[in-house]
Amino acid sequence: MNYATPTEEASAEILIKKSRFIAHAKQIVSREAAMSWLSEVRSDYPDARHHCWAYLIGDPSCAINAGMGDDGEPSGTAGKPILNVLNHKGVGDVMIIVVRYFGGIKLGAGGLTRAYGQAAQAVMAVLPLEQQIEMVAFQLVCDFALEQKIRHWVNILKGDILRVHYAQQVELEVSIPQQVQLAFIRKLQAVSCVFKLL
């Protein structure tokens, strides 16, 4: 699950043959959130001719959910090029809405496809992103003497201590990045720490 997600909302505008294309992008994590935000944008631009959109939820290499809408533009000329941009950017949990104000000059199907793709590219170029890292959780049981060493390993591996319980031994729940899971397991085995994946 190593992919980027938006950290805040961004917008960009392009002008093509007097038509204004105003693109907005932000993080969304469900279809309901996407449709709610679309309603907000529609109310912000009530006089616009079209509010075309696409979203991608989850890891962009195998998205949990994706959707798009042409909002009255010829089929496949708006939502599809926006979704194509999302598919090629490696960004997940994201939605782009492109608001179009018609400028009086028809662009044709190819022109519309290019314009919506360019608007999506423009907003993605300014969208602040952060990398998401897939974590795995472990439950550990060890002697008190090992606690600081394990805390140090978790810290070095950029993991988190989720819970600590002191009884006859120390019980810890930790999460670490999936890509260093095997190295962590080897360290635990080397000191005879009892562990299991959660």
pLDDT band at 104 (very low <50, low <70, confident <90, very high): confident
pLDDT given at position 195: 86
Right CATH for 134-197 from 3.40.50.1220, 3.40.50.300, 3.30.70.240, 3.40.50.150? 3.30.70.240
Dihedral (CA of 181, 183, 189, 193) sign: negative
Q: What is the pTM of this model?
A: 0.72
| Cα–Cα distances in angstroms (integers) from residue 163 to residues 133, 140, 151, 157, in the given order | 20, 10, 12, 17
- Cα–Cα–Cα angle for 23, 47, 66, rounded to 5 degrees: 40
Structural tokens at position 82 = 């926006």
pLDDT tens digits for range 134-192: 788 999 998 899 999 999 999 888 888 899 999 899 999 999 988 888 888 898 888 88
Per-domain boundaries in the chain? 3-131, 134-197
- Look-up of token digits 């992008």: 25
- pLDDT value at 1 more than 70: no
Right CATH for 3-131 from 3.40.50.300, 1.10.1740.10, 3.30.230.30, 3.20.20.70? 3.30.230.30
